[in-house]
Structure 1
């Protein structure tokens, strides 16, 4: 497989450079099936504004906009961005917290035909410099200060390191940069949006970083519009629903599964919160009568436990999607009994493929599986270590392709060579089995993973990437990043370290990692000194033995 990315011969500013499109035969099949409509992604908002102009579209604790107001605001933002010099196809890093401004910025960029790179609030210089360099981004939209962190200082560093990054807009006190809020005051003519190629990327999501720094995931207008629409239909969402964005809005899960975008396809309102604590979230759920939300397993358990003492309970919830890590049947039962009358287990990835249990599925299926594919055209194979298909019902690595699953990471030839089969199946790195018969037939059970990652609170953390940072510390001779079980996070990050001299503390280590620009969610929760690291027969660190030794210590 080729990515088409040859930087020495290609225009790096061109959006199509380094993008791997869907093969023509499969694209034709998805159009014939009606999944792909050849309409731009922002038409989701345009359709909603035409059908439900006066209905609340987005709400946060400070402000709300109807669909018509949001569309008008996005149009002004788009016109102002174009006036500043941003061109269709330009990539712009978008890093805003969960507020209505996130939706305004997202649709403003889409209406300008720019391509948002969906950064998360926790990303720091290591990731953002990488995203800027790979994408060739020309712009950046950030808050001023959030949760005590000054994003303007980070922006200054990014601009110094990336000469192409010419446009920086700050939501709040702009400091040395321009005000994002002022863009919405644009009172000039609003141009018609430029035409788009619906088979090119509408936005770039970020991967969980299973190896090295996170990769960029191109989601086309066709595939992502279908993703959001089909998810909303599968969750039986209607205009009477209200969706709560409790996870970072730039994540695929709360953005389009069904999230903000899926909610818009049926005229449902979306509520944003930057505080996902039970006290704050329950108050918003009660105030706006929220009916649907998506949570990671750890947060869902915290919310369920809080139902035992919080005075205001989330009684309006009808469906809670839970993903990010596999739930045991007991955990699923606990959440179903204590938090919500409707639970949907979801197993998916920003790369595309989504499996989830549906409203109306038998209880046995909801408790014991991670769902079935969203689309009839999703293709799944389960293979052994040699790439051969295993017998039905047996375990192996899940390979997938379909109408909303990528065909290659953006500008990542080496990763694509590892991650895709010659016939275009994406290697998920997840160990699964697909039930072959009975009421669970066709449903997926996630039994483990093949890639060396840690699932911490819904974030996928690359062990190898963290280890590279650990090795850079002068006091560390050898290190292994391993997962330890945690009741609330699912897994916590443990740095098992052999010191070359006087040991350092966890706080000192994380201060060092902070200075290297490592995201907060990727830093160790536990530091365990070890005399040596056990090895396998071929000389690799035996991480199973590392974990066993640590757990044996109590």
Structure 2
């Protein structure tokens, strides 16, 4: 049963409609309109395959009919774990068209996360590739089915083995069931970065997410001539919508799908496909900056490099234009809503030293102290926000919503920022128990719970430690139950065997006799972070 999450009060919804933020568009309708107006124009390029808007629309109708005949209905949830391949777009738009909800999983997730998503969302299906990046997702599906034998369908894009094939679902496009979908309906569920336990699910409506697309397109100046190269996994909110692949399709541009983000993969693609814009996280940007002077690829088509997901150092930011010959655009946002951009015509000091300003004039931003009182400009505080594309509550999370949202609907982002007098945001850090590992958010509590399952561990606490490349890495401090203290590599293997995604495995594990405590007797993670920063690696 679908549980309706908290949404915007009617007075706000009315205001957003009257002000033209919410136009009553749906994703299924948007693609149909683009196919009608753009026809044979290429929408997606993957390797040597070019898919037109018309071909994409017909494929979506074909799959929509197949999903519907399979029993996936309006409101059904489907966990989608697909890499950067055309099937990702065919699947999600087919689900949009029948009013079913994709639950966006990342290719890096493993059995622990996938089992949770399927169980919590009460999913009717799980969609995977066969093999990607050398990893067999059918093996992962078997692990999930062992834990959740009642999962109705596993659908594979590729060689199916015992599962259902995505191609086998395709029907005559004329059989598209033409389900009525409201723009105010929930379109999909995204994953939160999460600071406590496993990820929360973020409900996004057609109205609010499409608004974020066309506002992003305005700021980023996307047109039908734009070529967006998707170097990051497209299920992430950032390359999905800022403006990302969906923003590009909304603009009528062309999406080029890259199978990875290394210069060996991406630089030749930029040259071949004449990409005009792409998005990366800081660690990847640093690799590109180091590689560019030593390569001969023609990157002259690239107009904008977006960097987001974590704070980009000013020194690295200064190197983008000299090394890559394009403009830098800093992006700071969250899957829950608010997105900030530096503008393409901003002065260099703003582009280098800030993370931009909100993209919408209807974004409300507060920076407050620990008592929720506003702080002056240039003083760091907690970032709170609400607006036409920032959610009002997580899915099935009543207790968490009371903490994450103020009574008047402001979302507590967990970010520590300061606002410049010009209204630009400068990110200073996080106030939540979360590690930002090169743009991948890791909830300490989730990893700690897995560590506590080990028979030799009495207690565990994981914290961030500074890293010049990733921004932050993770360090887990563990207390032994007895005299046996397994080596760090043994504990890491234990976590992998429990189905934890690789980026969540602690970079460092240290045994400790007792945790430092705060004045009220709680574990002092501040003291542990200081300890992690000073200790040499023990891996």
| TM-score, length basis structure 1 | 0.93
Indicate the residue corresponding to 1:507 in structure 2. Answer: 489
SS of alignment partner, residue 204 of structure 2: strand
> How far 1:313 moved relative to its partner?
4.7
Q: Deviations over 1:381-419 (max 9, x none)?
A: 111111222234422101100000001001111211110
Name the CA shift for 1:164/1:355 in 2 (closer, same or farther; >3 Å): farther
Name the CA shift for 1:76/1:350 in 2 (closer, same or farther; >3 Å): same
Indicate the residue corresponding to 1:224 in structure 2. Answer: 209
Q: Count the aligned residue pairs.
A: 535
CA distance in 2 between counterparts of 1:151 and 1:144 reads 6
Indicate the residue corresponding to 1:47 in structure 2. Answer: 33
Name the CA shift for 1:427/1:340 in 2 (closer, same or farther; >3 Å): farther
- 35-44 or 318-327, which moves further after superposition? 35-44
Indicate the residue corresponding to 1:114 in structure 2. Answer: 100
CA distance in 1 between counterparts of 2:40 and 2:372 reads 54
Q: Summarize the alignment of residues 117-156 of structure 1 with structure 2, pairs less than 5 Å apart.
A: 117-156=103-142
- 62-71 or 190-199, which moves further after superposition? 190-199
CA distance in 2 between counterparts of 1:263 and 1:212 reads 34
Q: Deviations over 1:255-312 (max 9, x none)?
A: 1111111001221100111221111111111110111111111111111111122332
* 1:463 maps to 2:444: yes
> How far 1:188 moved relative to its partner?
6.6
SS of alignment partner, residue 280 of structure 2: strand
SS of alignment partner, residue 189 of structure 1: helix
Instruction: Give the unaligned 5+ runs of structure 1.
Output: 1-12
Indicate the residue corresponding to 1:57 in structure 2. Answer: 43
The counterpart of 1:207, out of the listed 192, 208, 211, is 192
Q: Deviations over 1:8-47 (max 9, x none)?
A: xxxxx23xx2411211011111111111011212223222
Name the CA shift for 1:526/1:315 in 2 (closer, same or farther; >3 Å): farther
Name the CA shift for 1:188/1:244 in 2 (closer, same or farther; >3 Å): closer
Indicate the residue corresponding to 2:503 in structure 1. Answer: 521
- 524-533 or 371-380, which moves further after superposition? 524-533
- 494-503 or 87-96, which moves further after superposition? 494-503
CA distance in 2 between counterparts of 1:162 and 1:229 reads 39
- 352-361 or 322-331, which moves further after superposition? 322-331
Contact persistence 1:44–1:261 (CA under 8 A):
no
CA distance in 1 between counterparts of 2:154 and 2:534 reads 51
Indicate the residue corresponding to 2:69 in structure 1. Answer: 83
Name the CA shift for 1:533/1:334 in 2 (closer, same or farther; >3 Å): farther
Indicate the residue corresponding to 1:373 in structure 2. Answer: 358
* 1:474 maps to 2:455: yes
SS of alignment partner, residue 307 of structure 1: helix
* 1:432 maps to 2:413: no
Q: Summarize the alignment of residues 161-240 of structure 1 with structure 2, pairs less than 5 Å apart.
A: 161-162=147-148, 165-184=151-170, 186-187=171-172, 189-240=174-225
* Superposition CA RMSD, Å: 1.7
Contact persistence 2:259–2:265 (CA under 8 A):
no
Instruction: Give the unaligned 5+ runs of structure 2.
Output: none
CA distance in 2 between counterparts of 1:144 and 1:191 reads 26
Q: Summarize the alignment of residues 319-398 of structure 1 with structure 2, pairs less than 5 Å apart.
A: 319-398=304-383
Indicate the residue corresponding to 1:409 in structure 2. Answer: 394
Indicate the residue corresponding to 1:74 in structure 2. Answer: 60
* 1:490 maps to 2:471: yes
The counterpart of 2:5, out of the listed 19, 22, 38, is 19
Indicate the residue corresponding to 2:266 in structure 1. Answer: 281
SS of alignment partner, residue 58 of structure 1: strand
Contact persistence 1:307–1:313 (CA under 8 A):
no
CA distance in 2 between counterparts of 1:451 and 1:367 reads 26
> How far 1:192 moved relative to its partner?
4.8
